[in-house]
Amino acid sequence: MEESQNPVYKNKDYGKYREMLYSSYTGGKFEKAVGFHGEADRVILEQAWDLFKERIEDARQRVLAGKASPVVFYMEKNLLDPLGLSMVAGISLLRVKWHFRPNAFKRLSNNTLGKYAKAFNISIEQLKKVE
């Protein structure tokens, strides 16, 4: 397939990923072309990833300060929210929120820890510590 003639999609700085886009010119003809990301796409994607990184860092600080349990950190790291985590791990939303407290986390059974570990795709030992 040919490279796009449309100048907007000629930005090759961002990623190696090319997507197909349909575009209309003033002549009213519809064309499809394969192109790279433009500036606007880069900005809005970066915005999302900046927020995720911020949230992960924030969660890490709170866990290290003893204000939250490691579940919070790994939840943010997997880009989940409490509802999503409860669906992935198969634990009810109220219990998930309860386990965000460090004291509640310390008392968890191996069975429940295993559910979280499986959801985050890590081992139970990894789940217990955050560095």
40 lines the binding site for other proteins (CB under 8 A): yes
Among 11, 18, 56, 122, which residue interacts with other proteins (rule: CB under 8 A)?
Answer: 18
Among 11, 56, 77, 84, which residue interacts with other proteins (rule: CB under 8 A)?
Answer: 84
Q: How many CB atoms lie within 10 A of CB 21?
A: 15
Among 5, 12, 34, 61, which residue interacts with other proteins (rule: CB under 8 A)?
Answer: 34
81 lines the binding site for other proteins (CB under 8 A): yes
The Cα–Cα gap between 123 and 39 comes to: 40
129 lines the binding site for other proteins (CB under 8 A): no
The Cα–Cα gap between 99 and 106 comes to: 9
Helix (H, G, I), strand (E, B) or coil at 104: helix
